[in-house]
Structure 1
Amino acid sequence: MTTILVTGGTGTLGRLVTERLRADGHEVRVLSRRAQPYAVDLREGGAGLDAALEGVETVVHCASTQRGGDEQAAQNLIAAARRTGVAHLVYISIVGVDRVPLPYYRSKFAVERLIEESGLGWTVLRATQFHDLLVTLFQGLGKAPVMPLPAGVSDQPVEVAEVADRLNELALAAPAGRVTDMAGPEVRSLDSLARAYLRTTGRRRPVLNVPLFGKTYGAFRAGGHLAPDQAVGKVTFEEHLAHRFGR
């Protein structure tokens, strides 16, 4: 039985990874800012982090925030992993972090480099956006009388449970470096995805495609966040919506 620590183990992805590893009979420690007994803010590190990692063989690093601090958190995690003898660090990243100049993507890419240079055994998986993220986006945009979308942008959402399954496999295998990206089954325009959400939820909103400007928008329009050659996900956005909203 392997002892595995999952950072961000109470989040959308981390919770599912934790469930799968425990179902396979492994001892899993959940690390987050509030989850006892391993309540640690990775951005601060400290003795609590060393205690959480003591005796751990593998870390699955799912903790992340768009509010900043991911690089500091990774530095603290890597330093503690070295001190406590962790053998394998698995990291979930995002397809396009090296192509789309979004600040959050740049931070994720910087964390990848820190892990690659850490001296630890490591595995990095990049995935496209989760279906859940698009639902959250459309819920927010749908509050207005008109739903505005960036014109000409597509997406390739993937089911979070499928990503959790893949991370489970990687955590139980030997360090593999940068593995093949994981993407959803379909490249779809945001317009079509938004309309699917509106149909399923019974909302009536006109969709307005708005041209934007800048390098980040250009990178999204060019498909820098897509991986059409790695469309290994099985669950479509409509199937996710039907399951989530019971329709």
Structure 2
Amino acid sequence: MTTILVTGGTGTLGRLVAERLRADGHEVRVLSRHSRPYAVDLREGGEGLDAAVAGVDTIVHCATSPKGDEQAAANLIRAARGAGVAHFVYISIVGVDRVPFRYYQSKLAVERLVGESGLGWTVLRATQFHDLLVMMLQSLSKLPVLFLPAGVRDQPVEVAEVADRLAGLAAGAPAGRVADMGGPEVRTLESLARAYLKAAGRRRAVVKVPLWGAAYRGFRDGGHLTPGRAIGTGSFEEYLGRRFGGGQVREGSGRSRA
């Protein structure tokens, strides 16, 4: 039986990865800032991290944060080397080497740390999860008008499918950079936003706004897409159906249509 440590194991992806690995008979340790007995802030490292990785065969690194990912990865890699971990699996994002977005640049830097770690490693890049896209649209729709960056498309993927792929990779041998994983369709942000509004029962005008900057150009040019690897099967509408059901209005009374 393999002992596998899942960082970020209480998050959207990490929780599902841990469940799948346990179902396959592996001993799974969940590391997060607040999950006992392995409550560790990876950005700080320390004795708690060393204890968490002791005796571990494989690490699946799902933990991420808007700031501090590089330091967290460096601390985790140091502990992994000290513990003799055989396999380090990292989940990254499609386009981190093509879109000069700050968070993407941090993910790319972590990929490099993993590749230069001296450990056996595997890196999987996936497109954005349905959950994250809905979180963004919920935030944008707080105003009476939903503003979207003009000319941008997306290729959202079902997080459960990414978890299945990641768990399978963790159970195997180090494979280096594996093929990207994208959702089943490349869609305009407008079409995705209108699908969300309909499912959530919200009325909003949708306005496309041209932006500026290198990161925007990268997204507009599709650097974050992988149409040749559209291997996910779960659609955005299927996800919305599970999440919102019949689209009951949650603001005011009665029903609404997009």
Give me the TM-score of the superposition, normalised by structure 2: 0.95
How much has 1:236 moved relative to structure 2? 0.6
Determine the structure 2 residue equivalent to 1:52. Answer: 52
How much has 1:201 moved relative to structure 2? 1.1
Q: How does 1:31-50 map to 2 (within 5 A)?
A: 31-50=31-50
How much has 1:59 moved relative to structure 2? 0.2
How much has 1:178 moved relative to structure 2? 0.1
Q: How does 1:2-41 map to 2 (within 5 A)?
A: 2-41=2-41
Secondary structure of the 2:30 match is: strand
Provide the identity percentage.
Answer: 74
Q: Residue deviations 1:147-168, cap 9 Å, x none?
A: 0000000000000000000001
How much has 1:128 moved relative to structure 2? 0.2
CA–CA separation in structure 1 for the residues paired with 2:73 and 2:204: 41
Determine the structure 1 residue equivalent to 2:131. Answer: 132
Give me the TM-score of the superposition, normalised by structure 1: 0.99
CA–CA separation in structure 1 for the residues paired with 2:200 and 2:133: 14
Paired amino acid for 1:202:
G
Determine the structure 2 residue equivalent to 1:174. Answer: 173
Secondary structure of the 2:173 match is: coil
CA–CA separation in structure 2 for the residues paired with 1:246 and 1:173: 37
Q: Residue deviations 1:106-150, cap 9 Å, x none?
A: 000000000000000000000000000110011111110000000
Unaligned runs of 5+ in 1: none
Unaligned runs of 5+ in 2: 247-258
Determine the structure 1 residue equivalent to 2:221. Answer: 222
CA–CA separation in structure 2 for the residues paired with 1:197 and 1:102: 25
Determine the structure 2 residue equivalent to 1:110. Answer: 109
Paired amino acid for 1:13:
L
CA–CA separation in structure 2 for the residues paired with 1:77 and 1:141: 35
* Ranges of 4+ aligned residues in structure 1 off by more than 3 Å: none
> Does the aligned pair in 1 maintain the 2:181–2:232 contact within 8 Å?
yes
How much has 1:244 moved relative to structure 2? 1.1
Secondary structure of the 2:147 match is: strand
CA–CA separation in structure 1 for the residues paired with 2:205 and 2:94: 30
> Does the aligned pair in 1 maintain the 2:123–2:177 contact within 8 Å?
yes
Q: CA RMSD in A?
A: 0.5
CA–CA separation in structure 2 for the residues paired with 1:84 and 1:228: 39
How much has 1:179 moved relative to structure 2? 0.1
Determine the structure 2 residue equivalent to 1:69. Answer: 68
Paired amino acid for 1:169:
G
How much has 1:24 moved relative to structure 2? 1.0
Determine the structure 1 residue equivalent to 2:92. Answer: 93
Paired amino acid for 1:90:
V
Secondary structure of the 1:56 match is: coil
CA–CA separation in structure 2 for the residues paired with 1:72 and 1:154: 32
Determine the structure 2 residue equivalent to 1:157. Answer: 156
Secondary structure of the 1:181 match is: coil
CA–CA separation in structure 2 for the residues paired with 1:198 and 1:170: 36
